[in-house]
Amino acid sequence: MEHTSPKSPKGGFWSAFPYNCSGKAGPDLYYESFQTSFHRIYATKIRQKGLKTSPPFADRWPGPSTVYADPVNQIHNSLRFKLSALRFELKQYICGNFETYSNMSHPLHSEQEIIRREKLKSLGELGINAYPAEGFPVNAYAAQIKSGYKEENKEAFGSVCLAGRIMSIRDMGKASFAVIQDSSGRIQLYIKRDDIAPGEDKTAYDKLWKHLIDLGDIIGVKGYVFITKTGEISVHVRELILLSKALRPIPIIKEKEGETFDAVTDPEFRYRQRYADLIVNPQIKEVFIKRTKLINSMREFLNNAGALEVDTPVLQSIPGGAAARPFITHHNALDVPFYLRIANELYLKRLIVGGFDWVYEFSRNFRNEGMDRTHNPEFTILEFYVAYKDYFWMMETTESLLEAAALAVNKTTVVKSGEKDIDFRAPYKRISIYDAISESTGTDVSALDENGLRTLCRKLHITADDSMGKGKLIDALFGATSEHRFIQPTFIIDYPVEMSPLTKKHRSITGLVERFELIINGKEIANAYSELNDPIDQRERFEEQIKLMERGDEEAMFIDNDFLRALEYGMPPTAGIGIGIDRLTMLLTNQPSIQDVLLFPQMRPESQV
């Protein structure tokens, strides 16, 4: 299709803008891209309804006068008119608002934002690039200067070059004090008019520094370190350059004698604008630094033990390895549905079948379930599997791993969680799940069948609908009556077989499996098994899950026939574990919510808030 686009009277940007507001050419370009998106939506809607596309619309865009009678065409017609309305709205939005958005005084901008944009314009008129392309040769950092500077070694700090964000300014006429913040902390600057503007032209101080630079701007300075009369280590600035102009003001945090006032604590702001949170609450960086230390220490522990780190698929044709509701997507090239992984367990066990003795992966998993202070739909887990081991060996290894991790992160095994002291030093208490529930309820649940468990749940006012099998009922009882009681690290062991479709049957107790969950501060931190390697037993367990699915259990497992085929080649006795990195980080950094240990937690889109 050929288009003729009349030259825009605006020139410059507008002449190149594909959506020309004359309506003669640009809209068609956008309309074509909309058609592509339309067909994707259309195909998805058809699949959802289990219908087949009508031949007339398999490869063409329908004409405006076509009348539709069958269900497929009704869907097509509905989407076409929605798309047409969207096209019209987009044209009105762009043509009516783009000029306003580019204007310095857009009504959505605050007064401060308008002023900063005017300053940006003034910088350009002075020939100052507010966003220079050249690198800046940083050779010193705030923390390094503060910890290393002494009067006896001041020569070593005679020429420093550092950069950071301006957090405060005190104007004293022909001199100023300012505080900048870099990645390591804050340091005071002393800026004198005749130093940064040594000649007759005082623009660098009188115009740039005093009138065009704001809090939040990023600057680079060169100078030397000294100690002020009040005893504060500072940098005497000889040269100053603007590295990035901030068009949005940062929240102001007041500090006096090391005490913070008006701290930004609003979770909505902090989680949604983590970049701003890191600026105004730099102490939270320590949480994420510790998170990295935790992962590095666990990786080092496993590598030193001879384990091999691997990568397994995030997109999976069958969401296996856990009882959870998956996210569903569509693979366009293969034209089949795919799932974001809920666990990487079955792929790691395939590698054990293939001959690896010890494999591990730090995995990003996705579960389309609820969100609260200990659950996030996207989360990080460490899973590892070891041939020729069992769950007793895994308990001892887990104790050693977590004790080493606590020491690496906090240099002690004792951590604070709220008002509680939690000790990661081995060994950890062990108790069966039946005994744990019995201690809490006074009832021996091991002798109860499904109906008896459901009756007990209802007696204790615990939700127990008809879709829940014996395993889910026991899980609900444990979660409601017992889990919160285990503050110190505790292995809850020997689960009923109905709860654990991937776990080997107990070697001596009928009806149980060799599984443990590690509970710390009332929450599950790890889940481990002596892995089931009998392919016939595994198929029967999968089939039981299908029966639960038919009863309405949306978290029941699918049958993974390829995994069963792998087991039929023979998998050695294997121990496996999954450790929740996010919850473990919460414990080791004393954070009350999982959102506090995720840099960018999921949030409802702002347009819906």
Tens of pLDDT, residue by residue over 424-478, are: 999 999 999 999 999 999 999 988 999 999 999 999 999 888 888 888 899 999 9
- Separation CA 58–CA 495 (nearest Å): 53
> In the predicted model, is pLDDT for residue 90 greater than 60?
no
> Between residues 48 and 146, which one has the greater pLDDT?
146
Nearest-CA neighbor of 187 among 179, 176, 196? 179
Averaged pLDDT for residues 359-379: 93
Q: Which is more confident, 99 or 369? A: 369
Q: Residue 177: enclosing H or E segment and its boundaries?
A: strand 175-182
**Average pLDDT, stretch 323-334?**
92
Residue type, 11: G
Q: Is residue 80 very low, low, confident or very high in pLDDT (cuts 50, 70, 90)?
A: low
Least confident segment among 21-35, 200-214, 383-397: 21-35
Domains, in order of start, for the chain: 12-102 (no CATH), 108-250 (2.40.50.140), 287-428+488-608 (3.30.930.10)
Residue 409: closest CA among 287, 591, 577: 287
- 8-state DSSP, 551: T
Least confident of 103-107, 169-173, 224-228, 546-550: 103-107
Structure tokens at 250: 């940062």
Backbone dihedral region for residue 443 (phi beyond 0: left; psi -120 to 50: alpha; all else: beta): beta
* Least trusted range by pLDDT, from 219-223, 257-261, 540-544: 257-261
- Give the C-alpha separation, 285 to 218, whole Å: 19
pLDDT tops 90 at residue 160: yes
